[in-house]
Amino acid sequence: MSQAPKVKKPPQFPATDLLIIGGGLAGMALFLGIKKNHPRLKIKLIEKESQLGGNHTWCFHDSDLPPRVKQWLQGYFSKTWNSYEVRFPSLQRNFKSPYHALRSFEMQSRLLSEFPEDILTNTAMKSWRCLSPENPSLLGYEIKTEAEKLLRSHGLIDCRGWINQYPSEKVAFQKFVGLDLKLKKPHGLTSVILKDAACPQIDGYRFFYTLPWSETEILIEDTYYSNHSILKEDRIEQEILKYAQTQGFEVESILRREKGCLPLFLYPQEHIGELPELGAKSNTFNPVTGYTSPQTFQMIDQILSLSALDPASIQRCLVQQQKAFEPQAKFLRFLNRMLFNACRPDKRFKILQKFYTLPEPSIQRFYSGQINFLDKVRLLSGKPPVPVFKALMELTDKFASNNSKKSVPDLNL
């Protein structure tokens, strides 16, 4: 009598206390924070691509970092500058505030060398199921990867980043192309040029962004606050090289290329996540800048301050922090509508030029998404750089099809 063929079971791994899905900035920062503050917890970080973090440069102001986060994260900074400057047609200003950068390839190298057993690359989640749906207080999950491996964990946090599935009328974009350049001679810069908007204003509000890595290596990005997500990369690369020439930089070679396109919300976004989420996946970020790092670092700080890092407590903490940020996000979405709906694309720079005349603490709180009542008064006081009638039309946070940004033409690059 022939025996039934044995079914080959997928390989299994020991259960972890927490599984972090997605190795971008949010996933890496949470993973590192737990490793540094709760080393006894069994956690794993999985990333679908072959490397963590993609090909990105993440930057943030010193005021974006909660003090406890800075303690364990600052050893991983690629570079810190003690000041930065902004340039506009009618304004040039220097700020004596630290500014930090993390380069994804350097962060990946550090994490893989320190925690090689706890990071799985080329590992995409295919499906997941809750092992105890009848008892939510005893969370447990079984995850199947695309390679048919089974992972078990007491908790999951989804850090996989955002996917552009938003109606075009509800979202604008901050998009950029960046080049790491090797120069023939020292550039002479000692600080960051955060925004150089003294350039032709095409495709919306436009500025160049410059990070000096060393005496002869520099990153220059050409950035646009635009109504659409199209990036004409070859053309923009030529614009960057032209800008470098106008600054007196002699380019020897292009060392690296990067690009990005961040959503800028104009109205509330419908979002229902099945798992606890952190970073862009949660839609919790500054709507005006598109940057997730300030809110992500604040939420990680709250997670690490919990008395117990059990999955249920982490999930409650994330939900509470996301709800707490919504009043800030509502006001920031209003500012976006002023910028994209009420202002001509080639005049948007005037709003930012006025913004950078504010006291430095107000600017810091704006970036970190922690503006207070006085900051709001300062932002809205004085002669508005947009028509008053159009500004009043944008007061509501509800979307109306007859008041969309499509009515404002773009000047395409």
3-state secondary structure of 300: helix
Say whether pLDDT at 359 is over 70.
Answer: yes
Alpha-carbon distance 26 to 47, whole Å?
A: 12
- Position 363: which residue type? I
Q: Is the dihedral of CA 370, 374, 390, 198 positive or negative?
A: negative
> In this predicted structure, what is the pLDDT of residue 269?
82
Residue where the block lists tokens 């540094």: 36
Q: CA 280 → CA 168, 173, 174, 293, 316, distances in Å?
A: 18, 14, 14, 9, 18
Q: CA 127 → CA 46, 144, 273, distances in Å?
A: 14, 5, 15
Average pLDDT over residues 134-161: 80
Contacts with 36 (C-beta within 8 Å, 6 or more apart), sequence order? 72
Say whether pLDDT at 406 is over 70.
Answer: no
Contacts with 5 (C-beta within 8 Å, 6 or more apart), sequence order? none
Band (pLDDT 50/70/90 cuts) for residue 3 is low
Average pLDDT over residues 229-233: 92
CATH for the 174-265 domain, from 3.30.70.1990, 3.50.50.60, 3.60.15.10, 3.10.20.30: 3.30.70.1990
**pLDDT tens track for 116-147:** 999 999 999 888 888 776 654 456 888 888 88
Mean of pLDDT over the chain:
87
Strand 119-120, strand 43-46: pairing: parallel
Alpha-carbon distance 33 to 286, whole Å?
A: 22
Long-range contacts from 148-152, C-beta under 8 angstroms, 24+ separation: 148/10, 149/10, 149/11, 149/12, 149/13, 149/123, 150/10, 150/11, 150/12, 150/13, 151/13, 151/16, 151/19, 151/44, 151/46, 152/12, 152/13, 152/14, 152/15, 152/16
Average pLDDT over residues 174-198: 97
Q: CA 192 → CA 262, 277, 394, distances in Å?
A: 21, 32, 34
Is the Cβ–Cβ distance between 206 and 187 less than 8 Å? no
Average pLDDT over residues 300-310: 91
Strand 84-88, strand 43-46: pairing: unpaired
> In this predicted structure, what is the pLDDT of residue 308?
83
> In this predicted structure, what is the pLDDT of residue 298?
96
The answer to whether the 8-81+99-173+271-413 and 174-265 domains have the same CATH topology is: no
Contacts with 365 (C-beta within 8 Å, 6 or more apart), sequence order? 63, 371, 372, 375
> In this predicted structure, what is the pLDDT of residue 154?
86
Q: In the chain, what are the domain boundaries?
A: 8-81+99-173+271-413, 174-265
Average pLDDT over residues 12-37: 89
> In this predicted structure, what is the pLDDT of residue 145?
86
Alpha-carbon distance 245 to 239, whole Å?
A: 10
Is the Cβ–Cβ distance between 182 and 252 less than 8 Å? yes
Structure tokens belonging to residue 68: 């406890």
Say whether pLDDT at 404 is over 50.
Answer: no
> In this predicted structure, what is the pLDDT of residue 386?
58
Residue where the block lists tokens 């999930």: 315
> In this predicted structure, what is the pLDDT of residue 409?
38
- What's the CATH fold of domain 8-81+99-173+271-413? FAD/NAD(P)-binding domain (3.50.50)
Run of H or E residues at 366: helix 360-368
